[in-house]
Amino acid sequence: MGKKSKRSNYQRIDLGIYSGINFLLVVPSKWNKSLYPLHYLEYYNGKQVKYYTEVKSLYQQYLPTLTRPNVTEQEKITELQRLYSYDIGKIISSLDLKASDDINLNTLMNAAVDIFFQYQESQYAKGELNNISNYKDRTAKLKDFFRLDNNKHLMLRDLTSDIWEAFRNYLLGTKKLKKSTVNQYMTYVSQFYNFLIFKEIAIFNHSLKLKKLDASKQEKKFKEIKDDVLKSFFQTLEANKFKYTRIYLSALLIYEQTIRPIQLCSIKVSQLDLTNNLIKDIYSAKNKSYRSIIISPKVKELIEIVLKNTSDSGIDIEPQDYLIGGRDRLKKGIPYTPKDVRRVFDVFKREFPQFKEVLIYDFKKTSITNQFNDATIAPDLIRQRANHSKMETTQIYNQKKDVTAPFILQID
């Protein structure tokens, strides 16, 4: 057995088990006389797989470090694990990992984040989640962070509160996110830990050691649309309502009912009750609630134009069709995203450059601010219309300095 090992042309180095898969590094032994010896990572995923990309160049680059005097075998293995952690993570990310034991403390962070998102996608497919667009973005930011040179070797067992502090600083500094948005990302990190506990991974939620960032004094992350610009914007759309119907409908619906762009994109034909001037069961992922809204005559008119455009094009109108679609018609299949709607707005703004600074997100915030400036509207009604769980959130957009008159007691 010993003799066979000495004469083997290749050395097989066990790099460990990652996400339930054992990885070996196969490199030439000192007895290998081939002019073109092979270097590859080997793993088994239903069948034996060999991965060659840059394995040789990396190994040769680090070979002097691995053969330095007094280095132990364990130190060599640790160095090789770090060296090939990115490639292993990339391989794992490309695999369809679904079994409950596919994640453990040796799982690379990028792979663990992928497995978490796969779980969310399965929950979405089963109807447990209404939308996962925000999750996609947060997953992408996490993966960007764990692809950095200092982080790409990190496994679940390496997590500490310092790492999450670094992630938070990365979002604030490199990604230029607001404190309130960063707090939402840290909530997502806590959901990630809940998933690990669900998978029976023995791990502590290190992010709980970090205090929530104080976002109360941060600058508003929206630009309030001035009254003259707002009126001119809708007057321009009224004059071009058959050319830019979906833009007019989107902006007006967001302004009048302060729904979010993501909610706008999710409205289906089945939710329309034009007889009673209603859009029913608009879902809010933020507070897990549904609400129905009364629509104005103008919104109803614009919806009817969209329905007529669809019918006149010879397209059947079906309950599952989405209200906002291409060419001012209904959308079949996958709904638009807020980013898609923003691109449609850009087309309009190229024709009318005086509105180049107006963003779809600004209509909701401007509406809330304008409602606070109307003394006839009760603050709690504004909160309900904005679909905020807490009045404190709504009050962020209150630019008035409230002064109350006394309730005078008459004693004569």
Residue 402 has, within 13 A of its CA and on its CB side, a CA count of 8
- pLDDT digits 0-9 by tens, 331-346: 999 999 888 999 999 9
> Residue 134, SS3?
helix
What pLDDT is attached to residue 343? 92
Q: Which residues of 12-28 are buried (b: 16+ CB within 10 A; e: fewer)?
A: eeebeebbbbebbbbbb
Tell me what pLDDT residue 401 has: 53
Residue that is written with structure tokens 């996962």 in the block:
132
Cα(286)–Cα(389) distance, integer angstroms: 9
| pLDDT in the model for residue 4 | 46
What pLDDT does 405 receive? 56
Dihedral angle over CA of 193, 194, 197, 201, nearest 10 = -20
Residues 349-392 pLDDT 10s: 999 999 999 999 899 999 998 898 887 888 888 888 877 777 77
Residue 353 burial (CB count, 10 A)? 8
Burial class of residue 371 in the structure, from the number of CB atoms within 10 Å of its CB (0-12 exposed, 13-18 middle, 19+ buried): buried
Contact 115, 19 (CB under 8 A): yes
pLDDT of residue 30: 86
Half-sphere exposure of 175 (CA within 13 A, CB side): 20
**Side-chain half-sphere of 92: how many Cα atoms within 13 Å?**
29
- How confident is the model over 35-68, as pLDDT tens digits? 889 999 999 877 889 999 889 988 888 888 777 8
In whole angstroms, what is the distance from residue 29 CA to residue 8 CA?
7
| CA distance to 226, 338, 352, 353, 357, per residue, from 349 (Å) | 17, 16, 5, 5, 9
**DSSP per-residue codes, 176-198:** ---HHHHHHHHHHHHHHHHHHHH
Q: How far is CA 224 from CA 199, 221, 310, 358, 377, in A?
A: 45, 10, 34, 9, 19
User: What confidence score (pLDDT) does residue 288 get?
Assistant: 76
Taking Cα atoms as reference points, which of 49, 136, 116, 118 lies closest to residue 87? 49
Would you say 303 and 252 are in contact if contact means Cβ atoms under 8 Å apart?
Answer: no
Taking every pair of Cα atoms in the chain, the longest distance, rounded to a whole number of angstroms, is: 115
Q: Record the pTM.
A: 0.55
Q: What angle do CA 117, 121, 123 make, to 5 degrees?
A: 115
> What's the rounded Cα separation, in Å, for the pair 72 and 118?
39
Instruction: For the chain, list residues with pLDDT below 70.
Output: 1-6, 19, 93, 95-102, 216-222, 399-410, 412
Q: Which H helix or E strand runs over 89? A: helix 85-94
Q: Provide the pLDDT for residue 175.
A: 92
